[in-house]
């Protein structure tokens, strides 16, 4: 499901950033979904709440049938976006600048 060519593809910023993201993701592997949500502010987002640019990209990659996306918070602004199917998060985008879904809260 990973978008390999768009604005938010994982390798756009180079191998060092990819290693950083993978390291952050590995920290989640020992947690339950309840722990991840409680400790990180991670949550589902309806596709109606994402930006028009992100929606357009979903259409481009054939994922516009999705109702929700999952935003996994790595730091203040950094997010990994995916599609959650039961216990598995299928990675979709790397969003270092919190651009997929606008936040009205400071530092998020």
Q: Is residue 10 part of a domain?
A: no
How confident is the model over 60-90, as pLDDT tens digits? 999 999 999 999 999 889 999 999 998 899 9
Total domain count for the chain?
1
In which domain, by residue range, is 64 found?
A: 15-95
Query: pLDDT digit string (tens) for 16-63?
Result: 988 999 999 999 999 998 999 888 888 899 999 999 999 999 999 999
In a domain, 7, yes or no: no
Cα 53 to its chain centre, rounded Å, is: 15
Q: Is residue 51 part of a domain?
A: yes
For residue 61, is it within any domain? yes
Does 57 map to a domain?
yes
Q: What is the pLDDT of residue 22?
A: 92
Where helices occur in the chain by DSSP H, the ranges are: 15-28, 33-40, 52-60
Q: Is residue 108 part of a domain?
A: no
């Amino acid at each position: 499901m990973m978008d390999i060519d768009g604005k938010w593809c994982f390798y756009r910023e180079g191998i060092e950033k990819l290693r950083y993201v993978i390291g952050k993701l590995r920290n989640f592997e020992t947690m339950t979904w309840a722990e991840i949500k409680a400790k990180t502010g991670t949550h589902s987002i309806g596709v109606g709440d994402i930006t028009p640019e992100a929606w357009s990209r979903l259409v481009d990659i054939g994922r516009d049938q999705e109702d929700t996306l999952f935003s996994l918070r790595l730091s203040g602004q950094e997010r990994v976006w995916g599609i959650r199917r039961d216990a598995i998060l299928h990675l979709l985008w790397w969003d270092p600048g919190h651009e997929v879904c606008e936040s009205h809260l400071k530092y998020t």
